Amino acid sequence: MKKIVLSMLVASIGLVAAEGTVPYKSGLLLPPQADKIYEKECAHCHGKDGKATSFAGSSRVSYAVIAGMDAATVAKELKEYRGGEKSNDYRLHNKYGYGSIMRSATKDLSWEEIDAVAKYVSGLK
Amino acid sequence: MQIEFELVTYDEELDRFELDETMYQIELSEDDAETYHLLKDSDLHLYNWLKESDFFTKYIKEEVYPDSENKKIAISDINGISFRRFYFFKVTSGDSHYEYFKKLYNIHEESDWQDREDVGEEILYHLSTKRKELILNLG
Amino acid sequence: MDNKYIDKMLSEMDKDLAKQGMSRRDAMKLAGITGAGMFMGGATSASAADENKTVKSNAKGKIVIVGGGLAGMSTAARLTLNLSDPDITVIEPQELSVSYQPGQTLVGGGIWDEDDIAYKRDDFVPDGVKIVKEKVILFNPQENKVTTDKGTVISYDYLILATGLHLDFERIRGLEEAGRAMSAGDNERLLKALGDDGICSIYTAKGATKTWEQMQKYIAQAKSGKKTKFLFTHPSTPVKCGGAPKKIMYLTNARLKEAGARENAELTFYPNGGAMFGIPEYHDAILGQFKREDFKWHYRHNLIEVDKKNKIAVFDAKWQEKGPWDPVLKDYEVIPKHEKVRVPYDFLHITPPQLAPREVAESDLGSAKGWVPVNKETLQHIRYENVFSLGDVAQVPMGKTGGSVRKQYKVLVDNLIALMNGKTLEAKYAGYTVCPLITDIGTVMLAEFDWTVKPTPSFPLDPTVERWMWWLMKVHALKPMTMYGMLSGRA
């Protein structure tokens, strides 16, 4: 799972740069661009509209719709998934069993970026 | 003159060394004895000399491990000079081994003092390649 | 600037000099020209003559420097002095990138103001050097290109990485809101997360001002009779300026004594390391100073969490115990152990964990530890021949100080020009580092050393003695020397 996500991330970075549009990478102290972060880290599981409930390739796994969720709740959950730097110090938040997937999706995001994404998600219809 | 030596065997699948625990002896010719005396204080040079010497490999194949198909071994001790730390070093190993490897691999402390675990990991990283170089292929 | 101190220093200096039968003018000459020069790396009077006969090389090639701080800008300047037809581009997004970071300790101690250390990038771009005011976020060394956050793609023949490092406050639990930061800039988010209740750090310019504010607040508290705890930390990562975590402690101590409040204060140092300094002579000297000033310390304590509400600092305390006998290695094992220790504080100065910027660490030019892997002597990248690095982001032992950069940038320029001319790289950096350890208002112990791990003083004086002379240098000569000497590529 992680490998697929990683290669999709790499591919998307390459694409964006090649097209000449302004690239965005998370975790680099740039002003957050929630839409770009969402597209890279969240869209392939949760869908562009935040309404997908399962991921093609893993039919066992299904999850709730995230579009329109309360921003503060989303931010809190994402921060817990992201956890601290060393997993020895912090328990891996494993709600619903998605701990490691969510952790790898959020690990590069700063708190500021998570807040921005949470707001974006709450605004999805 | 005679020198004593001990060996370890290497299991490639498990990537593990094991002590043979037998003290072997080998006779050195006059020339070889001179070389030994020259090299005996220089650690890895001594090791490499013995490893590369035909008389040594021949002796191992004939006298020590006669059915040595694809067997991999390394030398753990040469006349009391120990090389065991190369095969058995752990992050919890004692200070003397740390000091030896820090010097060998030029591991400078980045900050005023470095976590033992970090230095240990770095040493193991260097050793993963070094160990392979020390192995004799008998096959 | 606080003139009271200059006057005090000058009168102390005159007294001292009178004892030695020297005039102030002689001393200033001795300390001023050669002093500041040697202070920052042992330059002799010969260097002034050198400048006049610099022969410019006509080597060609497009040079791109990522990062326009002290290291990047000085390198750009020196290259323009040494190349007859330079094609140099500096990429730097921060307007105040060349601010004088070594002065942040003095701002934190109330000796200087923030204005005294703020310098603008645009005022220091050397003539003929192109400046791109954007941030590089993608590196493509296979195709010799970099891409900025605005989408600009810049190609190069030669690349120099001088991005500096990031302060990783967010790694500390309870300070995740702070995020990561660099020294310059408004750092609003960081300062908001640190708050106004005793937590501070001199590692950012604005944070240094806040440190002084907080320090005064708790000195007043101590003066009013209340027992006040001052904590100072040193993290588990490499840091820029290894002495700063202690310098601010010494300055706090000086201010407390000055206010007559020292009795009610308890100052404790919490380093991750197991010694005061990597060099035994300086370690002993500092230990002596600590005992003399009645400081407390606890080795191998790494700050991992802050409970802001209850004002508790949580440390990961480490120690070693004798383990079982290892019959194979014929030695006892050493078992590392650790536990969490909770320490209440009134004033907590944090030296944050530090790391290479993510865009560098995760690129092909980074390494497992993040820093740019270079040959530590030639400063050339170990994998890409046309890439060099210096300053805080380079993986060079002991190389994260201004004094180290002063030596490194000359080595880099010589080697880069040699490479451009197809010659071998002969200039070598020997690991010189200088740490003017402020031990009081008016005294500095000038710690100089290199990779031989022995003191390497530039002046024939006992390097472990704290002197007013070095304080004078630190406060008066070093900044002009850096801003006008180094940043013009000459000092």
Tokens matching residue C429: 């950096």
Percent of chain A with pLDDT over 90: 15
Are the beta carbons of C238 and B113 separated by less than 8 Å?
Answer: no
- Please report the DSSP string for C421-464 in residue order: TT----------EEEEEEEETTEEEEEEE-TT-SB--SSSS-TT
Q: CA-nearest residue of chain A to C316?
A: A89
Are the beta carbons of A84 and C173 separated by less than 8 Å?
Answer: yes
Helix and strand element counts for chain B (H, E): 6, 6
Is it the case that residue C310 has pLDDT exceeding 50?
A: yes
Closest-CA residue to A66 (of A102, A118, A107, A103): A118
Closest partner CB to C359 (pick from A17, A28, A85): A28
Confidence of residue C421 (pLDDT cuts 50, 70, 90): very high
Is it the case that residue C53 has pLDDT exceeding 70?
A: no
From C184, C222, C241, C393, the catalytic residue: C241
pLDDT 10s digits, C119-145 = 999 999 999 999 999 999 999 999 999
Chain C residues close to A18, C-beta within 8 Å: none
Is it the case that residue C39 has pLDDT exceeding 80?
A: no
Minimum distance, in Å, between the CA of residue A20 and any CA atom of chain C: 6
Mutate to test the interface with B, among C269, C334, C393 (most CBs of B within 10 A): C334
Q: Is C318 on the interface with B (CB under 8 A)?
A: yes
pLDDT 10s digits, C179-214 = 999 999 889 999 999 999 999 999 999 999 999 999
Q: Rounded to a whole number, what is the distance in angstroms from the first to the last CA of chain A?
A: 27
Closest partner CB to B113 (pick from C237, C273, C323): C273
pTM of the model: 0.81
Q: Is A47 on the interface with C (CB under 8 A)?
A: no
What's the confidence (pLDDT) of residue C427? 95
Per-residue burial over C3-13, b if 16 or more Cβ lie within 10 Å, else e, is eeeeeebeeeb
Q: How far is CA C93 from CA B127, C56, C132, in A?
A: 42, 30, 7
pLDDT 10s digits, C161-176 = 999 999 999 989 999 8
What's the confidence (pLDDT) of residue C15? 65
- The three state secondary structure string of C144-203 is CEEEECCCCEEECCEEEECCCCEECHHHCECCHHHCCECCCCCCHHHHHHHCCCCEECCC
- The mean pLDDT value for A47-60 works out to 76
Is it the case that residue B100 has pLDDT exceeding 80?
A: yes
Is it the case that residue B112 has pLDDT exceeding 80?
A: no
Determine whether B79 is exposed, middle or buried from the number of CB atoms within 10 Å of its CB (0-12, 13-18, 19+): middle
Give residue ranges of C with CB < 8 Å to any A CB.
135, 137-138, 147, 149-151, 153, 166, 168, 170-171, 173, 176-177, 179-182, 189, 304, 316, 357-359
pLDDT 10s digits, C318-345 = 888 999 999 888 889 998 888 999 999 9
Tokens matching residue C440: 């009081």
Interface of B with C in 2-61 (CB under 8 A): 19
Closest partner CB to A110 (pick from C135, C173, C179): C179
The helix (H) or strand (E) run that includes residue A120 is helix A111-122
Count of other CB atoms within 10 angstroms of residue C130:
14
Count of other CB atoms within 10 angstroms of residue C317:
17
Helix and strand element counts for chain A (H, E): 6, 2
| Subunits adjacent to chain C (3 or more Cβ pairs under 8 Å) | A, B
Domain residue limits, chain B: 2-137
What's the confidence (pLDDT) of residue C450? 86
Is it the case that residue B35 has pLDDT exceeding 60?
A: yes
- Helix A99-106 × helix A2-19 angle, to 10°: 20
The length of chain A is 125
Closest-CA residue to B56 (of B78, B71, B41): B78
Closest partner CB to C334 (pick from B94, B108, B114): B94
List the single range of A100-104, B87-91, C357-361 with lowest mean pLDDT: A100-104
What's the confidence (pLDDT) of residue C47? 44
From the CB coordinates, do chains A and C have 3 or more pairs under 8 Å? yes
- The mean pLDDT value for C78-96 works out to 96
**Cα–Cα dist C115/C206, whole Å:** 10
Sign of the alpha-carbon torsion through C395, C400, C404, C405: positive
pLDDT 10s digits, C244-285 = 999 999 999 999 999 999 999 999 999 998 888 878 889 999
8-state DSSP, B99: H
From the CB coordinates, do chains B and C have 3 or more pairs under 8 Å? yes
Confidence of residue A97 (pLDDT cuts 50, 70, 90): low
Confidence of residue B95 (pLDDT cuts 50, 70, 90): confident
Minimum distance, in Å, between the CA of residue C152 and any CA atom of chain B: 35
What's the confidence (pLDDT) of residue C154? 97
What's the confidence (pLDDT) of residue C264? 95
Interface A-C: count of C-beta contacts within 8 A: 55
Domain A2-122, CATH among 3.40.309.10, 1.10.760.10, 3.30.2020.30, 3.30.1360.120:
1.10.760.10
Percent of chain B with pLDDT over 90: 37
What's the confidence (pLDDT) of residue C358? 93
**Is the Cβ–Cβ distance between C436 and C444 less than 8 Å?**
yes
Q: Is B112 on the interface with C (CB under 8 A)?
A: yes
Tokens matching residue B115: 């976590």
Q: CA-nearest residue of chain B to C394?
A: B110
Closest partner CB to A112 (pick from C153, C189, C304): C189
Mean pLDDT of chain A: 74
- Known active-site residue C241: yes
**Cα–Cα dist C107/C184, whole Å:** 14
**Cα–Cα dist C282/C267, whole Å:** 20
Is it the case that residue A3 has pLDDT exceeding 80?
A: no
Q: Are strands A58-62 and C158-161 parallel, antiparallel or unpaired?
A: unpaired
**Cα–Cα dist A76/C316, whole Å:** 26
Count of other CB atoms within 10 angstroms of residue A92:
12
Closest partner CB to C336 (pick from B19, B85, B116): B116
Closest-CA residue to C233 (of C297, C175, C279): C297
Minimum distance, in Å, between the CA of residue A89 and any CA atom of chain C: 9
- The mean pLDDT value for A52-76 works out to 80
Is it the case that residue C16 has pLDDT exceeding 80?
A: no
Is it the case that residue A19 has pLDDT exceeding 60?
A: no
More confident residue, C41 or A79: A79
Q: Is C470 on the interface with B (CB under 8 A)?
A: no
Minimum distance, in Å, between the CA of residue A62 and any CA atom of chain C: 30
**Cα–Cα dist B101/B105, whole Å:** 6
Percent of chain C with pLDDT over 70: 89
Maximal CA-CA distance, chain A: 41
Q: How far is CA C447 from CA C79, C273, C278, C450, in A?
A: 30, 18, 11, 10
What's the confidence (pLDDT) of residue C99? 95
Are the beta carbons of A29 and C180 separated by less than 8 Å?
Answer: yes
- The mean pLDDT value for C430-451 works out to 88
Domain residue limits, chain A: 2-122
What's the confidence (pLDDT) of residue A86? 39
- Known active-site residue C435: yes
* Domains in chain C, CATH or no CATH each: 3-167+355-488 (3.50.50.60), 190-354 (3.50.50.100)
Minimum distance, in Å, between the CA of residue B84 and any CA atom of chain C: 6
Are the beta carbons of C316 and A110 separated by less than 8 Å?
Answer: no
Is it the case that residue A93 has pLDDT exceeding 70?
A: no
ipTM attached to this prediction? 0.81
Mutate to test the interface with B, among C233, C241, C277, C328 (most CBs of B within 10 A): C328
Count of other CB atoms within 10 angstroms of residue B51:
17
Q: Is B82 on the interface with C (CB under 8 A)?
A: yes
More confident residue, C406 or C26: C406
Are the beta carbons of B113 and C278 separated by less than 8 Å?
Answer: yes
